[in-house]
Amino acid sequence: MNRRTFVVGAVGSLTIGSGCLGRSSSGNDEPATEGITSREFTITDSEPGGPFDDEPSVAFDPQAGRVTVTGKMWEGNPCMETTLETATYDESNETLNVTIGVEKTGENCPDSLGAIAYRAVVGFDDDLPKTVIATERPPDSWEPQTATIER
């Protein structure tokens, strides 16, 4: 085997594999919403298996005081990044709205399509919401998926 071919292939594999797995943040820069104590967002898999047309899943954990939203969605090309776009709580109707979105982070990207699996965790200081509306907003060419879950 040609050593140059091997080195180029190995470096390319490491570059592709180092992607976004484990990428996390504490949420976005929006102001705190009354009742929410924390926001966490993590990419749990940068190459999940399909299907990707399922609605997001929602789990309530009253003992820990948190709601967890998980799902899989199309992220787009390497110049796109999936983020926790919003996590807001409306106390008047006890509804948490969570939007997972994709934002452009670069220019002149190759035509490709990537997918991710994610987990968003929203903490509360008091009772958990009665309703969670979770929306995945993939790149423009894909339909958003929304789940409305009541506990």
36-84 pLDDT, tens digit per residue, is 999 999 999 988 887 777 899 999 999 999 999 999 988 877 788 899 9
Question: Positive or negative CA dihedral for 135, 137, 138, 140?
Answer: positive
Residue with tokens 């180029």: 8
| pTM of the full structure | 0.77
What would the pLDDT profile of 105-126 be if each residue is shown by its tens digit?
Answer: 878 877 777 889 999 999 998 8
What would the pLDDT profile of 78-99 be if each residue is shown by its tens digit?
Answer: 788 899 999 999 999 999 999 9
Q: Cα separations (Å) of 5 from 1, 9, 18, 68?
A: 8, 6, 20, 44
Mean pLDDT of 11-24: 40
Strands (E) in 94-140, as ranges, are 95-104, 114-124, 131-137
Dist CA 31 CA 29 (whole Å)? 6
What was the pLDDT predicted at 24? Answer: 46
pLDDT more than 90, % of the chain: 46
pLDDT more than 70, % of the chain: 79
Element (H, E) at 7: helix 3-17
Instruction: For residue 132, report the phi and psi dihedrals to the nearest 5 degrees.
Output: -125, 125
